[in-house]
Amino acid sequence: MEKEEFEVSELGTTFDFKGFLLKLLSYWWLFLICILIGLGIAYYINVRKLPVYKLDTLIIVKDDQNPFFTTNTSLTFNWGGTSEKVNTAITTLQTRSHNEKVVDRLDLYINYAVDGEYQQIDAYGKVPFEVNIDTSSYQLIDQQFKVIFKDENTFVLSITIPEPDRYKQYNFSKLSSQRIELKPVQFEQEFKIGEFIKTPYFSGTLEKVKKNFKNDYPYYFSFTNFYDAVKSESDIRIKPESDGSSILALSMTGNNKKKIVDYLNTTVQVLSDDVLKRKNLFATKTIEFIDSTLQIQSGELKDTEQKLNSFLAKNKIYNLDEEGAYLFQRISELDIIVEEAQQQLQNYENLENYLLTHNNYENIPAPTVAGITEVSIATGVANILELAAERSAYEFTLREGTDLLTDIDRRIDAAKDVLLENISSSQRRLNQEIRTTQNQISQLEREIKQLPKDQQDLLKIQRELSINESNYSIFLSKRNEAKLIKAANVSDVQVIDVAKDTGGGQIGPNTQLNYVMALLFGGFIPILLVFIKILASNKINNVQEVTRLSPVPVLGVIGKSKSSSNLVVFDKSKSPIAESFRSLRTSLQFLYRQQGISGTKTVMITSSVSGEGKTFCSINLATVFALSEKKTVLLGMDLRKPKIFDDFELTNDRGIVNYLIGQSKMDEVIQHTRIPYLDVILSGPIPPNPSELLMNERMAQLIEELKQEYDYIILDTPPIGLVADALTLAKFADASIYVVRQNYTKKGMLGVINEKYKSGQIENISFVLNYFQQKAKYGYGYGYGYGYGYGYGQYANGYHEIDKKKTFFQRLKKSWQKRSN
């Protein structure tokens, strides 16, 4: 029966930290290998990592008010004060739309590269040419073009299409893609600098930007989807210099310092342009409104002038009389007042209609220059425009319905309600002013009717001309005022310190960190492996585990034998193993005295499964008793797998089996050995019913007869975990030894002997830990090692025969001597 057939449940255990640490020490070679491998990997990564740079720029966001600001003329507005401007600037810099403008301005969807030592590197700003694409054509993306210069003006353009497939093309003007079916091809053609290239793969030109270039040196360029380029390049970090500060530090990391510098400076320039454009929003919209109005006023003025000239030529009248001139002056002044009031009413109606019919308030016409002089209305419009600009900045990064956008919408609605109320109030005031003025005009018109008919007609035409000239002058003045204010405006974003490559800025790769991580992982992996091995191990490793898992006492520890023979005690009587058997003999004699046993003493030796060394222990224990001049007999009771005969160079033709079946007498089965005082009784031929034979009464008779002749009887029995033979023989033993082999016997196997020990089926039993190595790999010993504790000091040879291991040079010398002979 094989040992795998023995199955028991594992017993509980506690973790042995000291044993774990000692075991770790035994695997120093594994630590060394893992650390060396880790350092090798770290070195491999470090030499192939590209340098990482970090550059930055400083900007300030402030309220830079127009020097021409007045209540009635300013076309600027404050979008929340400095702190709100800073927050809006930070949000804007992080939006996709802003970074799209930067990528488009720098053409960062075109990738340049050159061959490095280990891989291709980003060559933005380093190649001697610039790619100018044909924006009306589709370009092949995600495929690399190679450029090799033959001379200053000639180059070879090539591209390899590896396999037939539908490749993606992209139009960077329409920002749209399409698929094209291409066959495998190695395209290669010579072109001139500036020559237009038209191929299925690329359309455009290559322009020279640097004089220094290498002939026959490969340069590379490729195209990336525009939005992918935006996503990969927009990794910019923004941090205020301090809480509430209007100074922002913009930083960026990457492998190409030229690209970082250009991106930082361009992103600031784009932000500054957008802020100035937003700041000029009033002026721009007002100029557009006034220009359209001036076209109408100009036509009306020309018509009125022609009408006046025609009247004068027809009626031969050139001047009003004194009374007519006076009335004309008075009524003209009143007409201008009414016209201006009606124009303001029209502007109010336009503004009111816009507010009631639109949801996007970024295009509200500027009221102040257009003719609305009411401060509350101008302020209300500015407030709504401010909130609309703020919402526009946030809506790129926030979803509709978020708390922030909902709050801004609520504030816009509240500002719009206030503005509409102010408009209604101003309309009522203007209507009252118009009615009062028109009453005055009606009175003057009654006086004019007293004048001659030709004077009345001339005065009427001159009134119309005066109104048109006044309106035209007003709008012309307003347009000049708006242009002046727009020209004087400056951006609220100013650069304090531009991004610049000053020769430093490298922050990576962190090679030291990689080496530290290699050391950590190189040490962690062996620890983890050893820990898993310990947790997964179900075998006995040291005495502490035996004492923890079983109440059966430990009688002794037997070291690992390096001898090919089992007769270690006889062959090397001064060896540490021989001393450990002497120690075991002493312990057994102490047990016998405790039990009050006199005369012949019997010892049964068993184990859990085969291979644990019970026969080895039986032979050497019997030998150590015989060497003390005690008549000893060793019985090979393992009738199924007899072994003893080989060690003593005997034949197994006759033995216990022959005695038990009545074929032989005791004297006929006893065999003498070359060891004085030691006899053996072999098992004999393998019987068909070994268990029944051992239960035979002749077995008891044999033991009694042997007690008459011998001082010690050693029973080498079968494994107790496999068969019941040992339990049958236990009644003949004064003491029983249960052999446990280090790193071989499974912990669960002790459960069987524990059960039989507690139930009283077997008594006077003790453990012996066999094949023990007192090394860190197996934990630590029981405290007494291989014997009495005589070690390897200056008196060691007086007690032990120590096999000194030859050094490498000694072995090499011996090998050389053999070859010489």
Collapsing DSSP to helix, strand or coil, 404 comes out as helix
Looking at residues 803-815, what average pLDDT do you find? 56
pLDDT at residue 9 tops 50 = no
Q: What percent of the chain has pLDDT over 90?
A: 29
What pLDDT score was predicted for residue 16?
65
Can you count the helices (H) and strands (E) in the chain? 25, 25
Higher pLDDT, 485 or 585: 585
What pLDDT score was predicted for residue 786?
35
What pLDDT score was predicted for residue 128?
93
What pLDDT score was predicted for residue 324?
65
On whether the pTM is more than 0.75, the answer is no
Amino acid at 261: V
Q: Are 348 and 423 in contact (CB under 8 A)?
A: yes
pLDDT at residue 96 tops 80 = yes
> Treating both helix axes as pointing N-terminal to C-terminal, what angle do 322-357 and 403-448 enclose, rounded to 10 degrees?
160
Looking at residues 676-680, what average pLDDT do you find? 94
Collapsing DSSP to helix, strand or coil, 147 comes out as strand
The four Cα atoms 374, 375, 376, 382 give a dihedral, to 10 degrees, of 110
pLDDT tens digit string along 272-305?
A: 888 887 777 666 767 777 777 778 778 877 887 7
Looking at residues 464-477, what average pLDDT do you find? 75
Looking at residues 623-641, what average pLDDT do you find? 91
Q: Are 711 and 632 in contact (CB under 8 A)?
A: yes
Topology of domain 543-820 in CATH is Rossmann fold (3.40.50)
pLDDT at residue 351 tops 90 = no
> Residue 69 — very low, low, confident or very high, per pLDDT cuts 50/70/90?
very low
Amino acid at 110: I
pLDDT at residue 785 tops 80 = no
pLDDT at residue 738 tops 70 = yes
User: Whole-angstrom distance between the N-terminal and C-terminal Cα of the chain?
Assistant: 51
Handedness of CA 259, 260, 264, 267 (dihedral sign): positive
Domain boundaries, the chain: 17-49+509-536, 281-488, 543-820
> Residue 574 — very low, low, confident or very high, per pLDDT cuts 50/70/90?
confident
Tokens describing residue 187: 């395209």
Mean predicted lDDT score pLDDT of the chain:
81
Higher pLDDT, 133 or 799: 133
What pLDDT score was predicted for residue 805?
54
Nearest to 140 by CA among 155, 161, 122, 116: 161
pLDDT at residue 179 tops 90 = yes
pLDDT at residue 236 tops 80 = yes
CA 394: distance to chain centroid? Answer: 29
What pLDDT score was predicted for residue 343?
78
DSSP 764: S
Of 44-53, 388-397, 413-422, least confident by mean pLDDT is 388-397
Higher pLDDT, 446 or 53: 53
What pLDDT score was predicted for residue 714?
94
What pLDDT score was predicted for residue 795?
31
pLDDT tens digit string along 512-543?
A: 888 899 899 888 988 888 888 777 778 887 88
What pLDDT score was predicted for residue 819?
52
What pLDDT score was predicted for residue 371?
58
The H or E element that residue 597 is part of is: none
What pLDDT score was predicted for residue 794?
32
pLDDT at residue 559 tops 90 = no
What pLDDT score was predicted for residue 64?
60
The H or E element that residue 502 is part of is: none
The H or E element that residue 702 is part of is: helix 697-709
Length of the chain as a residue count: 821
Looking at residues 46-64, what average pLDDT do you find? 86
What pLDDT score was predicted for residue 159?
95
Of 46-50, 152-156, 350-354, 669-673, least confident by mean pLDDT is 350-354
Q: Which of 130-139, 268-277, 639-648, 658-667 has the highest mean pLDDT?
A: 130-139
Task: Tell me how far apart the alpha carbons of residues 573 and 708 are, in angstroms, rounded to a whole number.
Answer: 29
pLDDT at residue 166 tops 50 = yes
Task: Tell me how far apart the alpha carbons of residues 390 and 627 are, in angstroms, rounded to a whole number.
Answer: 104
DSSP 371: T
Task: Tell me how far apart the alpha carbons of residues 130 and 293 are, in angstroms, rounded to a whole number.
Answer: 47
Of 57-71, 371-385, 611-625, 672-686, least confident by mean pLDDT is 57-71
What pLDDT score was predicted for residue 266?
95
pLDDT at residue 320 tops 70 = no
Cis preceding-peptide flag for 719 (omega within 30 of 0)? no
> Residue 268 — very low, low, confident or very high, per pLDDT cuts 50/70/90?
very high
What pLDDT score was predicted for residue 452?
73
Tokens describing residue 482: 């708006």
Q: Which of 381-395, 607-621, 747-761 has the highest mean pLDDT?
A: 607-621
What pLDDT score was predicted for residue 605?
93
pLDDT tens digit string along 383-413?
A: 787 777 777 766 666 677 777 788 888 888 8
Of 10-19, 246-255, 323-332, 561-570, least confident by mean pLDDT is 10-19
Higher pLDDT, 302 or 224: 224
What pLDDT score was predicted for residue 784?
36
pLDDT at residue 740 tops 50 = yes
> Treating both helix axes as pointing N-terminal to C-terminal, what angle do 28-48 and 17-26 enclose, rounded to 10 degrees?
70
Higher pLDDT, 243 or 485: 243
Task: Tell me how far apart the alpha carbons of residues 671 and 635 are, in angstroms, rounded to a whole number.
Answer: 10
What pLDDT score was predicted for residue 269?
93
